C-alpha cells in the first residue's frame, strides 16, 4: 500500500464526506493505493455516523477508530499511527483547511527525495492575526531555537512520514506539536518542509484556544529536558546541585573567615547568624543537596525503567 492518511477529528461531521471525496479524487488521479483512517476523538455530533456510512460504501479504503471520550489530538494520532499500514503516512486535519492536493508532492518528497518527514508550512494564513497568527510565529521561532529544526510551522497538521518514523516514535500528552522534534530525537535526521495551501474553514469553529501556546512552551521545555537528560538525570541535577552546595558552602566559609579576621583586629560586631547572607548561603546549600538527591533518585528510577535499553537499530547484518 502506498499511502495511509490519518485524520484525527472532533465534531467535524459537516466536512468529512467532502474531504473524503476530495481525497478519493486525488488518489485516483495519481493511481495510489491507499487507506483513510478516521480517528474520532470523542465527538458529540454525528461524526461517527458519517464515518460508518463512508466505511459501508468503501470498506476496502475507509477505516475508523472511535474514542469513548475526548482524549486529544496526540492520542488520536498515536492510535492512527499504530493502525497505519501504508509505505508513507500522511496526517491532515478534518476541517478542510488542509488541501489533499498537496498529497502527491509530499509523497514524492518521501519516496524520491528520501526525506524521513516533511512538515507543511502554511506560509499564507487566513487566521486572525492577533489571536492566532502572531502567537504562532513567536511559538515557532522559539521552537526553532530550542529544537534546532528550521521549520516555520512545526504544528502544521499536514505532514508526511516514512512508515518507520511513525512506528518508532511515541506521541503522548499534547506532544503532537513537536512530532518533528520527536522524530529527530529518535534518529530520523532528514526532516524537510514544504509550503502548502492554507484554506479558510468552511464549517464549524476552531477547537483550539490561546491556552495551547502556554501548554506548547511547557511541552517544549519537557521534551528538551527529556531529550538531553532523560537517560542521565544525574548529569543535570547532580551538577547543579553540587555547584549550588559548593557555592553556599564557600560563602559560609568566607563569612567565618571574615569574622575571624575582624576578631583578630579587635572588631566585635554582630554575630555571623545575624548576617542575612549566612541564611541565603545555608538555603543554597539545602537546595543544592535536594537537587543532588533528586538526581540520585531520578537515576535510580531511570536505571530500573523497562525501556532503558530500547534503542532504534537502523540496520543489522
Q: Where are the alpha helices (DSSP H) in 84-199?
A: 103-111, 134-147, 163-167, 179-185
* Residue count (the chain): 317
Confirm if 122 and 156 have CB atoms less than 8 A apart.
Answer: yes
Distance CA 184, CA 98 (A): 24
In terms of Cα–Cα distance, which of 271, 280, 274 is closest to 251? Answer: 280
DSSP helix/strand/coil, 75: helix
pLDDT attached to residue 287 = 94
Distance CA 280, CA 315 (A): 54
Distance CA 34, CA 193 (A): 23
pLDDT attached to residue 210 = 57
- The CATH class for the domain spanning 3-229 reads alpha beta
- Cell digits for 119? 512538515
* Residue 103 neighbours by CB distance under 10 Å: 23
Distance CA 224, CA 237 (A): 15
In terms of Cα–Cα distance, which of 176, 207, 194 is closest to 94? Answer: 207
Distance CA 179, CA 226 (A): 14
Distance CA 138, CA 154 (A): 12
Measure CA 305 to chain center.
22
Distance CA 226, CA 307 (A): 14
- DSSP secondary structure letters along 197-262: -B----SS--S--THHHHHHHHHHHHHHHHHHHTT-THHHHHHHHHHHHHHHHHHHHHHHHHHHHH
Q: Where are the domains of the chain?
A: 3-229, 234-303
Residue with the three cell numbers 547543579: 240
Sign of CA dihedral 92, 95, 100, 105: negative
DSSP annotation of 194: E
Q: Rg of the chain over CA atoms, in angstroms?
A: 27
Residue with the three cell numbers 532528514: 190
Query: pLDDT tens, position by position, for the chain (317 residues)?
Result: 899 999 999 999 999 999 999 999 999 999 999 999 999 999 999 999 999 999 999 999 999 999 999 999 999 999 999 999 999 999 999 999 999 999 999 999 999 999 999 999 988 766 555 555 666 777 788 888 888 888 988 889 999 999 999 999 988 878 888 899 999 988 899 999 999 988 876 666 665 555 666 777 777 787 777 777 777 888 888 889 999 999 999 998 988 888 888 778 777 767 777 788 888 999 999 999 999 999 888 888 777 766 665 656 666 67
Directed axis angle between helix 134-147 and helix 211-229, to 10°?
A: 0
Amino acid at each position: 500500500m502506498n499511502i495511509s492518511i490519518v485524520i484525527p477529528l472532533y465534531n467535524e461531521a459537516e466536512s468529512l464526506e467532502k474531504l473524503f471525496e476530495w481525497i478519493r479524487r486525488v488518489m485516483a488521479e495519481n493511481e495510489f493505493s491507499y487507506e483513510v483512517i478516521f480517528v474520532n476523538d470523542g465527538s458529540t455530533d454525528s461524526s461517527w455516523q458519517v464515518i460508518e456510512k463512508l466505511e459501508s460504501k468503501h470498506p476496502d479504503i475507509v477505516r475508523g477508530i472511535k474514542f469513548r471520550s475526548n482524549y486529544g489530538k496526540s492520542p488520536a494520532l498515536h492510535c492512527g499511527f499504530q493502525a497505519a499500514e501504508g509505505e508513507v503516512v500522511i496526517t491532515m486535519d478534518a476541517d478542510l483547511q488542509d488541501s489533499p492536493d498537496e498529497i502527491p508532492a509530499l509523497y514524492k518528497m518521501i519516496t524520491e527525495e528520501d526525506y524521513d518527514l516533511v512538515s507543511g508550512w502554511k506560509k499564507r494564513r487566513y487566521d486572525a492575526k492577533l489571536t492566532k497568527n502572531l502567537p504562532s510565529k513567536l511559538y515557532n521561532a522559539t521552537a526553532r531555537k530550542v529544537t534546532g529544526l528550521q521549520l516555520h510551522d512545526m504544528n502544521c497538521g499536514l505532514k508526511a512520514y516514512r512508515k518507520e518514523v511513525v512506528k518508532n516514535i511515541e506521541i503522548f500528552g499534547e506532544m503532537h506539536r513537536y512530532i518533528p522534534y520527536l522524530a529527530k530525537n529518535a534518529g530520523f535526521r532528514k526532516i524537510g518542509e514544504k509550503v502548502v495551501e492554507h484554506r479558510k474553514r468552511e464549517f464549524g469553529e476552531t477547537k483550539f484556544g490561546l491556552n495551547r501556546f502556554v501548554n506548547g512552551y511547557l511541552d517544549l521545555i519537557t521534551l528538551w529536558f527529556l531529550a538531553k537528560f532523560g537517560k542521565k538525570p544525574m548529569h543535570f541535577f547532580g551538577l547543579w546541585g553540587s555547584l549550588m552546595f559548593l557555592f553556599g558552602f564557600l560563602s559560609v566559609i568566607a563569612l567565618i573567615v571574615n569574622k575571624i579576621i575582624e576578631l583578630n583586629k579587635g572588631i566585635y560586631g554582630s554575630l555571623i547568624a545575624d548576617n542575612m547572607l549566612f541564611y541565603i548561603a545555608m538555603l543554597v546549600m539545602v537546595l543544592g543537596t535536594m537537587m543532588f538527591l533528586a538526581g540520585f533518585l531520578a537515576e535510580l528510577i531511570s536505571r530500573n525503567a523497562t525501556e532503558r535499553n530500547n534503542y532504534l537499530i537502523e540496520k543489522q547484518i
